[in-house]
Amino acid sequence: MPEHTARAPRTSSSRKNPQVLEGFAGPGGWSEAARMIGLHDVLGIELNADACATATAAGHRRLHADIRDLNPEDLIGVVGWISSPPCPTYTAAGLRSGIADQPHVLEGCTLLGDSYATGNGDHQVVYRQVTDERTALVLETLHFAFRLPDVQWVVAEQVPAVAPIWMDMAAELAMAADFASCNVLTLRADDFGAATRRKRTFLIATRNRDPNLARMPIREWWACGRFEPPHQRMPHPVTPLPATSMAKALGWPAAVRINTRGDRRTPGGNEFSADRPAPSLTSRARTWYRTDLGPAVGRLTPSQAGLLQGFPPDYPWQGSRTSQFQQVADTVSPLVGAAVLGAVTGLPWQDAVWARLADLYGHERPAEPQLRSCMTDAGQLDLFAEVA
Q: Is the pLDDT of residue 43 over 70?
A: yes
Phi-psi region of 277 (alpha: psi -120 to 50; beta: other; left: phi over 0): beta
9 or 261, which is more confident: 261
Alpha carbon separation from 131 to 123, 136, 157, 169, 281 (Å, rounded):
15, 9, 22, 21, 26
Note the pLDDT of residue 369. Answer: 74
Number of Cβ within 10 Å of residue 328's Cβ equals: 30
pLDDT tens digits for range 90-106: 666 555 666 777 888 88
- Rounded to an integer, the average pLDDT of 316-340 is 97
Q: Are 385 and 199 in contact (CB under 8 A)?
A: yes
Q: How confident is the model at residue 122 (pLDDT cuts 50, 70, 90)?
A: confident
Note the pLDDT of residue 205. Answer: 98
Note the pLDDT of residue 327. Answer: 97
Note the pLDDT of residue 349. Answer: 97
Q: Is the pLDDT of residue 37 over 60?
A: yes
Q: Are 285 and 300 in contact (CB under 8 A)?
A: yes
Note the pLDDT of residue 94. Answer: 54
- Rounded to an integer, the average pLDDT of 82-92 is 77
- CA–CA separation, 283 and 355 (whole Å): 28
Note the pLDDT of residue 4. Answer: 37
Strands 80-83 and 20-23, by their bridges, are parallel
Q: Which of 114-123, 252-261, 302-311, 321-330 has the lowest average pLDDT?
A: 114-123
Q: Which of 104-113, 222-231, 266-275, 312-321 has the lowest average pLDDT?
A: 266-275
Q: How confident is the model at residue 377 (pLDDT cuts 50, 70, 90)?
A: very low
197-219 burial: b if 16+ Cβ within 10 Å, else e: bbbbbbbbbbbbeebbbeebbbb
Q: Widest CA span of the chain, in angstroms?
A: 64
Q: Is the pLDDT of residue 286 over 90?
A: yes
Note the pLDDT of residue 221. Answer: 97
355 or 267, which is more confident: 355
Note the pLDDT of residue 387. Answer: 38
pLDDT tens digits for range 1-34: 333 333 445 443 335 889 999 999 999 999 999 9
pLDDT tens digits for range 223-256: 999 999 999 999 988 999 999 999 999 999 999 9
- Rounded to an integer, the average pLDDT of 24-48 is 97
Strands 181-188 and 199-206, by their bridges, are antiparallel
Alpha carbon separation from 293 to 186, 269, 301, 302 (Å, rounded):
36, 19, 14, 17
* Percent of residues, the chain, with pLDDT higher than 70: 87
**Phi, psi angle pair for 256, to nearest 5°:** -70, 140
Note the pLDDT of residue 385. Answer: 40
Axis crossing angle, helix 163-176 with helix 139-147, rounded to the nearest 10: 20
Q: How confident is the model at residue 89 (pLDDT cuts 50, 70, 90)?
A: low
- CA–CA separation, 195 and 279 (whole Å): 9
1 or 304, which is more confident: 304
Q: Are 134 and 126 in contact (CB under 8 A)?
A: no
Q: Which residues on adjacent β-strands are paired with residue 44?
A: 22, 62
18 or 386, which is more confident: 18
* Percent of residues, the chain, with pLDDT higher than 90: 72
116 or 97, which is more confident: 116
Give a three-class secondary structure readout of the chain: CCCCCCCCCCCCCCCCCCCEEEECCCCCHHHHHHHHHCCCCEEEEECCHHHHHHHHHCCCCEEECCHHHCCHHHCCCCCEEEECCCCCCCCCCCCCHHHHCHHHHHHHHHHHHHHHHHCCCCCCHHHHHCCCHHHHHHHHHHHHHHHCCCCCEEEEEECHHHHHHHHHHHHHHHHHCCCCEEEEEEEEHHHHCCCECCEEEEEEEECCCCCCCCCCCECEEEEEECCEEEEEECCECEECCCCCCHHHHHCCCCCCEEECCCCCCCCCCCEEECCCCECCCCHHHHHCEECCCHHHHCECCHHHHHHHHCCCCCCCCCCCHHHHHHHHHHCCCHHHHHHHHHHHHCCCCHHHHHHHHHHHHCCCCCCCCCCEECECCCCCECCCCCCC
What sign does the CA torsion over 121, 17, 157, 138 have? negative
Q: What is the CA radius of gyration of the chain?
A: 20
- Rounded to an integer, the average pLDDT of 54-81 is 97
